[in-house]
Amino acid sequence: MSQDDAMARADAVMKGFEENHPTLTGVARALGTSKLTRWPDAGDYAGTGKHMYRAERAGVGVTVPVIPLNQPKHAGAMVERAQRRVSLLSQIHSPHVVRVLSDAVAIKGAPGAVCWVEELLPSTKFEGDLASQEHVWDVGQAHTMLAEVGAGVAEFHALGARAWPYPYSLRLRSTGEFVLVNTLFVFRLPIVTPDVPAFPDFGDPQLVSPEDTPGGKPTLASDIFKLGAFSFLVLTGTLPIPCADRSIDGIATFYTDLRTKQAPPIRTLRADMPARFAAVIDRCLQRNPLDRYQNASEMLDDLVQHRP
C-alpha cells in the first residue's frame, strides 16, 4: 500500500467524527474552548493521526489538534507520546515554532482522544508548490526560509530533540515569518527503539535522511539533511535523490539510493546560486552524517555569513 493510500485510509477512519461528535464536545469542554470547527484542509496530517480544528478560547482564536484513540490497545502509548511531545514543545519560545497553549489532555469516549491547544496560524500550506520546476523559489526567499526554519529547528536541538522539518510542517505568519507547525514527530535522542522500522511513517517518505531509512541510527544531523533536501527542492523543483514512485517497492528503492548515493551539488541544477550559499546546502546533503553540520546552530553560524 502506498503512502497516499495509507493516508486516505487513515482519513476514512475519521468518517463520522464530525463537528457534533460527542468526543469533540468533550474536547471543547476539557480545554475550555468554544465548539470545534474542522480546518477545511486539515485531514490526517501526513499519517500522524492528528486532525486539526479551530475554536475560540477566552475570545481568542486557537487551533485544537485532536488525535482519536481508535486503537484501544495502543491508546495509553499514544497519550503518553502526545503528552511528552507537547511538554517538549512548551519549552520552546521562538517565533519560528508554533506555540502550545495547554497541556495534552486525554478524553474518554468512543473513541477517546488526546488533544491540546495551539496558537492559531494561517492555513496556507506550501507542499503543493514544492515539487514543481515551474514554481522554484528565488535564492533570497530560500535563504530566508532555511535561516528561519533552521532557527526553529535549533531550539529543538538545544533540548537534545529532533524537529522533523518537512513541507507539511511549514506555515507563514501574517508578519511574513516562516514557522514550524505539526511537530508531532519531535522526540529526544537517543531513540528508545534503536533502529528505524522497515517503513517509518514520518511524513513524506521522500524527505527523510539516509539514517531515517530501515536500520538507520538517526542523530540531530539527520534533521540537517532534511533541511538541505527541503532547500534543494524549493530551489530546483526536484529532490536531491529522486524517488521514482511512492509505492512500497518505489520507496524501498529510494531508501537504498539514499543510503548509497551522494546528492549532486546544487549548482549543477541551479547555476545562479551564490557559491557560498550553495556550499551550505551541499554540506547539509552529505550522505555521511559526520560530514554534515552536526546541529542547526552550527549550520546557522555558517549560513548567516553566506547571505546572498
In the chain, CATH 1.10.510.10 covers 127-306
Q: How many residues are listed for the chain in this entry?
A: 308
Of the two residues 228 and 212, the one the predictor is more confident about is: 228
Q: What is the mean pLDDT of residues 95-103?
A: 94
Residue 308 has pLDDT above 60, yes or no: yes
Q: Provide the residue type at 58 as one letter.
A: A
Q: What is the mean pLDDT of residues 240-244?
A: 89
At residue 194 the predicted structure's pLDDT band, cuts being 50, 70 and 90, is very low
Q: How far apart are CA 91 and CA 223, in angstroms?
A: 19
Question: Is the CATH number of domain 3-119 3.40.30.10?
Answer: no
Q: How far apart are CA 121 and CA 303, in angstroms?
A: 27
Q: What is the pLDDT of residue 46?
A: 43
Residue 200 has pLDDT above 90, yes or no: no
C-alpha cell at 155: 531550539
Q: What is the pLDDT of residue 41?
A: 54
Distance of CA 217 to the CA centre of its chain: 19
Q: β-strands 60-69, 118-119: how paired?
A: antiparallel
pLDDT tens digits, one per residue of 255-301: 999 999 999 999 999 999 999 999 999 999 999 999 999 999 999 99
At residue 187 the predicted structure's pLDDT band, cuts being 50, 70 and 90, is low
Q: What is the pTM of this model?
A: 0.84
Cβ-in-10-Å burial (0-12, 13-18, 19+) of 265 comes to middle
pLDDT tens digits, one per residue of 5-17: 544 544 554 555 5
Q: What is the pLDDT of residue 211?
A: 93
Q: What is the mean pLDDT of residues 65-87?
A: 85
CA–CA distance from 235 to each of 81, 105, 124, 129, 223 (Å)? 35, 40, 19, 11, 18
Q: Which of 28, 37, 25, 23 is nearest to 68 (CA)?
A: 23
Average pLDDT, the chain: 82
pLDDT tens digits, one per residue of 131-153: 455 678 999 999 999 999 999 99
In the chain, CATH 3.30.200.20 covers 3-119
Residue 202 has pLDDT above 80, yes or no: no
Q: What is the pLDDT of residue 163?
A: 86
- In order, the DSSP letters of 4-30 are HHHHHHHHHHTTT--TT-HHHHHHHHH
C-alpha cell at 54: 479551530
Q: How far apart are CA 97 and CA 133, in angstroms?
A: 28
Query: Are 11 and 43 a contacting pair, CB within 8 Å?
Result: yes
Q: What is the pLDDT of residue 47?
A: 47
| Percent of the chain topping pLDDT 90 | 44
The second-level CATH assignment, the architecture, of 127-306 is Orthogonal Bundle (1.10)
